[in-house]
Amino acid sequence: MEAVLKVLPHALDLLSNQHKESVKQTHAQMQGHRCVHSEREENLTGQSIPLDTPVSRRARSSPYPLISVDEAQKLVLEHSTALNAVLIPVSQFLASGYVLAEDVKSIEPVPGYRASMVDGYAVYVEDGPGVYPVESIALAETQEANMTLSRGKIARVATGGMVPDGANAVIMIEDTKLVKASADGKQELEIEILVSASKGDNIREIGSDCGIGQVVGVKGQRIGASEVALLASVGIRHVRVYRKPLVGVLSSGNEVLDHMPTDRLKPGQIRDTNRLSLLAAIRNAGFETMDLGIVSDKVQDIEECLDEALSKVDVIVTTGGVSMGEADLMKPILEQKLNATIHFGRVLMKPGKPATFATIPCGKKSKLIFALPGNPVSATVTFYLFVLPALRKMAGWSNPDNVVISVELENDINLDTRPEFHRVHVRASTNGLVAKSTGSQLSSRMLSMKEANGLLKLPIKSPEQSRLQKGTKVQCMLIGQLDPQ
């Protein structure tokens, strides 16, 4: 009992994580005992060990603090800024994700002439119903000059055709009757107007849709197909937009092979899927890409590849080499060879814990590097969480965050000790949006991404809750299009 009483204060200090100096002193007095209780905390230097460190002396725990997903996302956006503005033509290519860098005002009225809204006859409303001779024809085509309609006569007009001067209404063809045609039956000579009209009926006046100087686009607005049509309609032929980032994608690893020229894998080899999936995801999001290929696990090769890429692209995305293995060289190379600042090197999440974000000074600005885990699912999930919002902000998006919706679980789901981003297929049902798990969620299992259009944001497992039941409402981040019911 005396032995227990002697060490009880020390045990209490350890349990409470207080009085750290007292703990160290006690351990120093205990011959042959090495203190490891607070080793993890003491090793959180945020700096990688020297590249020439022998493998026997490599770190046994990561020096990078473990931060939350929210903290990591905030850091990414803090270091992502809109790129320079460029002047580009108004064309179909403008609708591929560009964002306006300034307000845009119309320089032409729409319509630019008095246009008929229907197929029918231009009239003077004062003349009223009755039989009238057809004086002229106005089709939807170019006319050198507009004509003036005589009182007591009417003019045949097509939808979009120019309404003659003097006419103050258009009667729909359905409200008329043919009275007399030419001898060959090709021309209308007299038409009976069957209804009365009010001034302005079925006429689009000049500038009634959009006047000169009216704002048709605002800074920060994303341009889609409808916006392109609007800009063209008011005479805008060029607009100033934010340049979209060019993204280089690099795979690393001695075991990683290009899938196309590789007929058969040897033991220990794998096909490169990360580069393909990330290049496709970036392109699908509307951004330009550069394929940086595959680099071996050699310090010089990785350094040279990254250094060359920095002169060509705005953002670099790598996969592999960010965990705790002896060939995981990406973080120390970034810090020690490229003078990078690593803003985070571990994130409390599943999958994707070793995800890394760094900036490298390049002239007056810094360029972004995302060093993602090598496991295929981890790389894809962390791309959507961290890389895609950064690209959007660089392209001028005012709100670059991912869309998060509420869904109902279609099956029970077990919780993990880390916040998990569980892959699901979301679809519409009569009761709202439902989400079905894609099965086993191993970070190496690409089948879990098959048909996945959402990532459930699952809470940490607790003694009170170890699983979510079918029918539970959960927040879900969309990464693809929703299927109809």
Exposure b/e, 160-183, CB count within 10 A at least 16 = b: bbbbbebbbbbbbbebbeeeeeee
Minimum mean pLDDT among 52-56, 180-184, 371-375, 430-434: which range? 52-56
| pLDDT tops 50 at residue 36 | no
Same domain for 379 and 262: yes
Contact indicator for 302, 320 with CB cutoff of 8 Å:
no
What CA–CA distance (Å, rounded) separates 356 from 386?
Answer: 10
Asked if 206 and 112 touch (Cβ cutoff 8 Å), the reply is yes
**Is 469 domain-assigned?**
yes
Residues 142 and 175 both lie in one domain:
yes
> Is residue 427 situated within a structural domain?
yes
Residue-wise pLDDT tens digits, 8-19: 555 555 555 555
Both 331 and 265 in one domain: the answer is: yes
Q: What backbone phi and psi angles, to 5 degrees, belong to 357?
A: -130, 130
The pLDDT of residue 143: 67
Going by C-alpha positions, the residue among 333, 334, 357 that lies closest to residue 345 is: 357
What's the confidence (pLDDT) of residue 33?
Answer: 42
Which residue segment(s) compose the domain that 138 sits in?
115-204
Q: What is the mean pLDDT of residues 426-455?
A: 89
Q: Which of 346, 361, 395 is the last residue of a domain?
A: 395
Task: Looking at the structure, tell me whether residues 95 and 130 fall in a common domain.
Answer: no
| Residue 92's CATH number | 3.90.105.10
| CB-count exposure of residue 54 (10 Å: 0-12, 13-18, 19+) | exposed
Domain CATH for 343: 3.40.980.10
Which of 242, 259, 292 is at the close of a domain?
242
Q: Can you tell me the distance from the alpha carbon of 92 to that of 94, in angstroms, rounded to the nearest whole number?
A: 5
Q: Do 186 and 220 share a structural domain?
A: no
CA distance 386 to 378: 12
* Confidence label for 46 from pLDDT (cuts 50, 70 and 90): confident
For the chain, percent of residues with pLDDT exceeding 70:
90
What confidence tens digit (pLDDT) does each residue in 226-262 have?
999 999 999 999 999 999 999 999 999 999 999 889 8
pLDDT, tens only, 382-408: 999 999 999 999 999 999 999 999 999
Judgement on whether residues 423 and 384 belong to the same structural domain of the protein: no
Six token digits for residue 28: 């120093």
What is the share, in percent, of the chain residues with pLDDT greater than 90? 77
- Which carries the bigger pLDDT value, residue 30 or residue 306? 306
Query: Nearest Cα to 153, choosing from 113, 201, 193?
Result: 193
Radius of gyration of the chain (CA): 34
Overall number of domains in the chain: 4
Query: d(Cα 446, Cα 273) in Å, to the nearest integer?
Result: 9
| Cα–Cα distance list, 2 to 5, 7, 8, 273 (Å) | 5, 9, 10, 63
369: nearest Cα among 354, 348, 386: 386
Q: Which of 302, 317, 314, 319 minimizes the C-alpha distance to 367?
A: 314
Q: Do β-strands 256-257 and 270-271 pair in parallel, antiparallel, or remain unpaired?
A: parallel
Q: How confident is the model at residue 5 (pLDDT cuts 50, 70, 90)?
A: low
Is residue 58 domain-resident?
no
Residues 185 and 248 in one domain: no
Mean pLDDT, rounded, for 446-452: 85
> CA-CA distance, 464 to 206, in Å (whole number)?
68
pLDDT at residue 468 greater than cutoff 50: yes
**Is the predicted pLDDT of residue 466 greater than 60, yes or no?**
yes
Between residues 328 and 344, the one the model is more confident about: 344
Which amino acid would we find at residue 174?
A: E
At position 209, the amino acid (one-letter code) is: D
Claim to verify: residue 89 and residue 233 sit in the same structural domain: yes
Residues 422 and 409: beta-carbon distance below 8 Å: no
313 close to 247: Cβ distance less than 8 angstroms: yes
Angular region, 253: left φ>0, alpha ψ -120 to 50, beta rest? left
- Cβ-Cβ contacts under 8 Å for 421 (sequence gap 6 or more): 349, 350, 351, 352, 381, 385, 455, 456, 457, 458, 477
Model pLDDT, residue 9: 59
Query: Does any domain span residue 25?
Result: no
Asked if the structure places residue 367 within a domain, the reply is yes
Residues 150 and 180 in one domain: yes
Residue 23, both tokens: 């703990």
- Do 375 and 301 belong together in one domain? yes
Mean pLDDT of 186-213: 97
Q: Averaged over 70-88, what is the pLDDT?
A: 98
pLDDT band of residue 364 (cuts 50, 70, 90) is: confident
Residue 161 lies in a domain: yes
- Comparing CA positions, the residue from 171, 168, 165 lying closest to residue 193 is 171
**Taking the C-alpha atoms of 376, 381, 383 and 387 in order, what is their torsion angle to the nearest 10 degrees?**
-160
pLDDT at 1: 52
Residue 32 has pLDDT above 80, yes or no: no
The pLDDT assigned to 34 comes to 40
**Structural domain contains residue 288:** yes
Task: Tell me the CATH number at 160.
Answer: 2.170.190.11
**pLDDT digits over 109-159, tens only?**
999 999 999 999 999 999 999 999 999 877 766 666 678 999 999 999 999
Q: Which of 233, 226, 219 lies closest to 103, judged by CA? A: 219
Query: What token pair was written down for 156?
Result: 């045949």
Chain mean position to CA 400: 7
Residue 474 inside a domain? The answer is yes
Same domain for 93 and 173?
no
CATH code of 460's domain: 2.40.340.10
Structure token digits, residue 322: 């960010």
pLDDT at residue number 18: 52
pLDDT for the residue 267: 94
H or E segment to which residue 386 belongs: none
**Residues 289 and 362 placed together within one structural domain of the fold:** yes
